[in-house]
Structure 1
């Protein structure tokens, strides 16, 4: 993906310094392959004027930049930089005192500091660094480049034995989950010594919806969905098979708390190990304080729902996947989660938050579950106010 504008408009740089916020959200900067122990070298080289990125690794890297533009903080990407290649992202003498960058690759990854900008999966130019999620973007950390009077700079991406020299070690906060009496623990299944968190990648703790386990090409995999990401656990990985087998005690759609190591990620998929699994014990609540039966709602949603207006529009729900159908054609494919409410629902709930796969630039959709019956379903798209009623047709 190549941005159409290789040289973004910039302003003269007295106010181009970005401060680090006090809190860090869980974003893709979490998914760094520490098993590969990627390193970053930032050097000012005598090269052509401008901001240049050189990729000294064996794989393609996708790079984004941030800067203070005429309209405020701006982020732009992605430039694909092939292995062994260099690419100029900003041409000419650099007028600002500070720039910011982010690089991603399937493996290895690079650490990033907490200078936060908005990004998305496809190529982008985004003005503004606030309310990223509300605008359908991701909020991710970038590293800082301080020019100190220089007018050109080269960022060199290199594989080695150290983390990025300017990256700050600030781990995302783990979700707060009430203690539970039951769970699945690695020590109950491991036949050998437990080498502890960080053995196979960056340690993580997430809350995610269980999608189920199945055999794919004779390999058993289990999948969990959260924040538009598909977390995949494979029996070919280092997780003990006993844990994978034990996951079948959970119903599809159960909200679980997982901990383990993040091995690698690409696109919307992250490959993980799992050491501990626990069901989230605290029942979901709407703003009114009313408890919500999310597992029951998830079970009710399964199957095909046909719109009552005869338009040919329908929903096909399979686990945590929703396909919007129109005249037998798939309009969009969402990975979704059930929540007590969303930012746009004004405290109403429950809601279905869908992360689009076919057109990620749309950003997350929020559907208010208005009513459910034995064979009926009514929803409202809270972003555009459209109300739709369905009848179960399977």
Structure 2
């Protein structure tokens, strides 16, 4: 109620002091700024959609991610995730139900693999398509399928006993 009174006083261009004597102030701009600040502080924050991988092992992990992009499968890598760290590997809204991940240790040994063959490279890469990896000069790897249940945001926890 007091805030509404301040707004009305600011709108009239006058403000009463403690003695009830009115005088002109720049209160309208200050009140508007205060209302704007309050609305920003009280507004719910926008949720960011993303796919996050958390490494709950004691080792550094290198991660590659596969997903369908513009009607073709694409793999990207590598993200290096320290022990007990998380990394956002897909920063935009998830549009695919299934995301595919492949993880290796620092020596290149698979520590998370699955049953979906996709392509990777030894260094940073983006590969379009998942067929004939070796013939196209890539390395074939077996990616683990993560069912995100069509959620817009998902976190995968990589543990020492991950599937």
Aligned residue number for residue 53 of structure 1: 53
State the structure with more CA Rg: 2
* 1:108-147 residue CA offsets vs partner (Å, 9 max, x unmatched): 8524211010111001000011111111111110011112
Moved over 4 A (4+): none
Provide closer, same or farther for how the CA distance between residues 83 and 113 of structure 1 changes in structure 2, counting only shifts above 3 A.
same
1:117 counterpart = 2:118:
yes
The 3-state SS of whatever aligns with 2:135 is helix
Mapped to 2, the partners of 1:129 and 1:109 lie a distance apart of 18
**Which one scores higher on RCO, CA 8 angstroms, separation ≥ 6?**
2
Report matched runs for 1:180-329 at 5 Å: none
The 3-state SS of whatever aligns with 1:117 is strand
Q: Which has the higher helix share?
A: 2
Aligned residue number for residue 209 of structure 1: none
1:100 counterpart = 2:100:
yes
Instruction: Report how far residue 93 of structure 1 moved.
Output: 2.3
Report matched runs for 1:16-165 at 5 Å: 49-70=49-70, 72-106=72-106, 109-159=110-160, 162-164=161-163
Tell me the C-alpha RMSD between the 2 structures.
Answer: 2.0
Provide closer, same or farther for how the CA distance between residues 137 and 58 of structure 1 changes in structure 2, counting only shifts above 3 A.
same
Instruction: Report how far residue 71 of structure 1 moved.
Output: 5.2
Aligned residue number for residue 388 of structure 1: none
Mapped contact 2:62–2:106 kept (Cα < 8 A)? no
Mapped to 2, the partners of 1:157 and 1:139 lie a distance apart of 21
Mapped to 2, the partners of 1:154 and 1:163 lie a distance apart of 14
Instruction: Report how far residue 84 of structure 1 moved.
Output: 1.6
The 3-state SS of whatever aligns with 1:134 is coil
Aligned residue number for residue 274 of structure 1: none
TM-score, normalised by the number of residues in structure 2: 0.65
Flag structure 1 segments of 5+ consecutive residues without an equivalent: 1-46, 165-394
Mapped contact 1:71–1:127 kept (Cα < 8 A)? no
Provide closer, same or farther for how the CA distance between residues 163 and 57 of structure 1 changes in structure 2, counting only shifts above 3 A.
closer
Mapped to 2, the partners of 1:152 and 1:163 lie a distance apart of 20
Mapped contact 1:147–1:153 kept (Cα < 8 A)? yes
Instruction: Report how far residue 91 of structure 1 moved.
Output: 1.1
Mapped to 2, the partners of 1:163 and 1:57 lie a distance apart of 10
The 3-state SS of whatever aligns with 1:135 is coil
Mapped to 2, the partners of 1:81 and 1:111 lie a distance apart of 14
* 1:328-350 residue CA offsets vs partner (Å, 9 max, x unmatched): xxxxxxxxxxxxxxxxxxxxxxx
Instruction: Report how far residue 149 of structure 1 moved.
Output: 2.6
Mapped to 2, the partners of 1:48 and 1:55 lie a distance apart of 20
Mapped contact 1:64–1:103 kept (Cα < 8 A)? yes
Mapped to 2, the partners of 1:95 and 1:163 lie a distance apart of 24
Mapped contact 2:64–2:101 kept (Cα < 8 A)? yes
Mapped to 2, the partners of 1:99 and 1:93 lie a distance apart of 12
TM-score, normalised by the number of residues in structure 1: 0.28
The 3-state SS of whatever aligns with 2:159 is strand
Mapped to 2, the partners of 1:92 and 1:74 lie a distance apart of 15
